[in-house]
Amino acid sequence: MTTRVYNFNPGPAALPLSAIEKARDELLSFRGTGMSIMEVSHRSAEFGALLKETDAGLRGLLAIPDDYAILYLGGGASLQFSMAPINLLGPGQTADYVETGEWSSKAIKEARKVGRVNVAASTKEEKFRRIPRPEELKLTPGAAYVHITSNNTIFGTQWQRFPDAGSVPLVADMSSDILSRPFDVKPFGLIYAGAQKNLGPAGVTVVIVRRDLVGKAPENTPTMLNYKTHLDGNSLFNTPPCFAIYMIKLVLDWVQEQGGLAAVAARNEKKARLLYDAIDNSNGFYRGTCDKDSRSRMNVTFVLGREELSEAFAKESSAASLKGLKGHRSVGGFRASIYNAVGMDAVEALVAMMEKFRKRNS
Ligand SMILES: *Cc1c(COP(=O)(O)O)cnc(C)c1O
């Protein structure tokens, strides 16, 4: 038996053990085909069924209404930074963007290449330590859409309640918290998420788009960048990332077994509270880097009060099989990514190590 570690990687990230084991068990023969999922045709009946089941799984868990399509695309969430404005930002229109971290800054940069962008609010001056308050948003009346990043993976903040944009559709990059909590899909025109944090492996991006918003891209839009291509082709215009989609299906099964989104959200809440409590009750030995009312339940960022202990903390945590805790290279410090598949046991092990380390060094 190979030893598994406590995996706090920010992405690619931990997957449910049962999903990986299932994939291993049927690796040589996917559903009796005598071929692995990597070897079957994407046009086969078996893969068609898998795609349908994946769709139904996502639809059920997220309560996605029928007037939304689900697309499985390549190119990562990063490609959606371009595809969203190409498809939804018409000539003469303005798109509002809320800048809450590095990923939203990147989304803004790409959107500006396509059309007019209004940064409705930014917390960049405050090092992205919080989500803007509703009254700080300077929204454009009649905007094409309002873009937000639901969870800021690098800085460790998360929208606790999504902004109210009235009849203007919200567009959200939910790469790092999709499927972590229930939410109402209806205010959104578009939701996209790279799979490698909470949904599955890298290689596929889930795009949930309101059907009536598709088909407005300019005539000269490259075929592959047009949502209509993938909507009409049922994500089979070209070869989709078959293996990654298959893994999503297994992860969805696991979420279902956990009791669905509400149960998963409750567990996520508990995990985050345990970790934030350990930070807040450490007398400044550990310090959270974000405002409390903006804290993420997915990425818990912190620094050591005495910076000079950071290297020892990094070494000792790694020696205790607690992996992936280094903060993003742009911000430093530490970050525990506690996505759905990171169990309470992992968080408990981390908190125990933190306590031990603090007592020894206080
Ligand atoms: C990881 C991440 C991305 C980048 O995703 P890719 O699939 O690597 O392009 C974008 N946005 C957020 C919020 C992320 O966490």
Q: How far is the CA of 359 from the centre of ligand 1 (A)?
A: 37
- Structural domains counted in the chain: 2
Q: How far is the CA of 355 from the centre of ligand 1 (A)?
A: 32
Q: How far is Cα 79 from Cα 232, in angstroms, rounded to an integer?
A: 19
Q: What is the pLDDT of residue 157?
A: 98
Residues 276 and 143 in one domain: no
304: domain CATH number is 3.90.1150.10
Residues 189 and 271 in one domain: no
> Is 6 inside any structural domain?
no
Q: How far is the CA of 192 from the centre of ligand 1 (A)?
A: 10
> Is 8 inside any structural domain?
no
Amino acid, single-letter form, for residue 105:
S
Task: Decide: 252 and 58 in contact? Cβ < 8 Å.
Answer: yes
Measuring from atom 10 of ligand 1, which residue has the nearest CA? 77
What percentage of the chain carries pLDDT values higher than 90?
98
Q: Ligand 1: which atom is nearest the Cα of residue 196?
A: 7
Q: How far is Cα 309 from Cα 285, in angstroms, rounded to an integer?
A: 10
pLDDT digits (tens, 9 = 90+) for 69-127: 999 999 999 999 999 999 999 999 999 999 999 999 999 999 999 999 999 999 999 99
- Last residue within a domain, chosen from 257, 291, 306: 257
> Is 7 inside any structural domain?
no
Residues 69 and 108 in one domain: yes
Q: What is the pLDDT of residue 269?
A: 98
Q: Ligand 1: which atom is nearest the Cα of residue 79?
A: 9
pLDDT at 26 over 80: yes
Q: Is the CB of 183 under 6 A from ligand 1?
A: no
Q: How far is the CA of 38 from the centre of ligand 1 (A)?
A: 24
Residues 272 and 246 in one domain: no
Residues 316 and 223 in one domain: no
Task: Decide: 273 and 313 in contact? Cβ < 8 Å.
Answer: no
Residues 125 and 48 in one domain: yes
pLDDT at 24 over 70: yes
Task: Decide: 123 and 100 in contact? Cβ < 8 Å.
Answer: yes
Measuring from atom 5 of ligand 1, which residue has the nearest CA? 77
Q: Taking the C-alpha atoms of 35, 194, 107 and 338 in order, what is their torsion angle to the nearest 10 degrees?
A: -160
Using CB atoms within 10 Å of the CB of residue 326, give its burial: 0 to 12 exposed, 13 to 18 middle, 19+ buried: middle
Q: Ligand 1: which atom is nearest the Cα of residue 202?
A: 7
Task: Decide: 322 and 330 in contact? Cβ < 8 Å.
Answer: no
143: domain CATH number is 3.40.640.10
Residues 192 and 297 in one domain: no
Q: Please name which of 240, 244, 136 lies closest in space to residue 199, comparing C-alpha atoms.
A: 244
> Is 328 inside any structural domain?
yes
- Last residue within a domain, chosen from 257, 279, 311: 257
Q: What is the pTM of this model?
A: 0.98
Q: Is the CB of 78 under 6 A from ligand 1?
A: yes
Q: Please name which of 89, 131, 132, 144 lies closest in space to residue 111, comparing C-alpha atoms.
A: 89
Residue 189, helix vs strand vs coil: strand
Tokens standing for 6? 């406590």
pLDDT digits (tens, 9 = 90+) for 49-68: 999 999 999 999 999 999 99
Q: What is the pLDDT of residue 14?
A: 98
**Strands (E) located in the chain:** 6-7, 68-73, 94-99, 116-122, 145-149, 151-152, 157-158, 170-173, 188-194, 205-210, 286-288, 299-304, 322-323, 334-337
Q: Ligand 1: which atom is nearest the Cα of residue 149?
A: 13
Q: Is the CB of 203 under 6 A from ligand 1?
A: no
Q: Is the CB of 194 under 6 A from ligand 1?
A: yes
> Is 12 inside any structural domain?
no
pLDDT at 320 over 90: yes
**Which one from 177, 197, 249, 271 is the annotated catalytic residue?**
197
> Is 190 inside any structural domain?
yes
Q: What is the pLDDT of residue 212?
A: 98
Q: What residue numbers bound the domain in which 143 lies?
A: 17-257
Residues 271 and 324 in one domain: yes
Task: Decide: 181 and 265 in contact? Cβ < 8 Å.
Answer: yes
Residues 253 and 307 in one domain: no
Look up 197 and say whether it is catalytic: yes
pLDDT at 359 over 90: yes
Q: How far is the CA of 81 from the centre of ligand 1 (A)?
A: 10
Q: Ligand 1: which atom is nearest the Cα of residue 76?
A: 7
Q: Is the CB of 153 under 6 A from ligand 1?
A: yes
- The predicted model gives 314-322 an average pLDDT of 97
Residue 1 — very low, low, confident or very high, per pLDDT cuts 50/70/90? low
> Is 9 inside any structural domain?
no
Residues 240 and 304 in one domain: no
Measuring from atom 3 of ligand 1, which residue has the nearest CA? 77
Q: Ligand 1: which atom is nearest the Cα of residue 101?
A: 13
> Could you tell me which residues come within 8 angstroms of residue 2 by beta carbon, excluding any fewer than 6 positions away?
none
Look up 103 and say whether it is catalytic: yes
pLDDT digits (tens, 9 = 90+) for 123-171: 999 999 999 999 999 999 999 999 999 999 999 999 999 999 999 999 9
Using CB atoms within 10 Å of the CB of residue 212, give its burial: 0 to 12 exposed, 13 to 18 middle, 19+ buried: exposed
DSSP string covering 275-289: HHHHHHTSTTSEEES
Q: What is the pLDDT of residue 324?
A: 97
Residues 60 and 91 in one domain: yes
User: How many CB atoms within 10 Å of residue 56?
Assistant: 13
Look up 291 and say whether it is catalytic: no
Q: What is the pLDDT of residue 332?
A: 87
Measuring from atom 12 of ligand 1, which residue has the nearest CA? 175
- Last residue within a domain, chosen from 226, 257, 288: 257
> Is 145 inside any structural domain?
yes
Q: How far is Cα 334 from Cα 325, in angstroms, rounded to an integer?
A: 6
Residues 244 and 303 in one domain: no
**Which one from 55, 96, 173, 177 is the annotated catalytic residue?**
173
Tokens standing for 183? 């939410």
Q: What is the pLDDT of residue 183?
A: 98
Q: How far is the CA of 99 from the centre of ligand 1 (A)?
A: 15
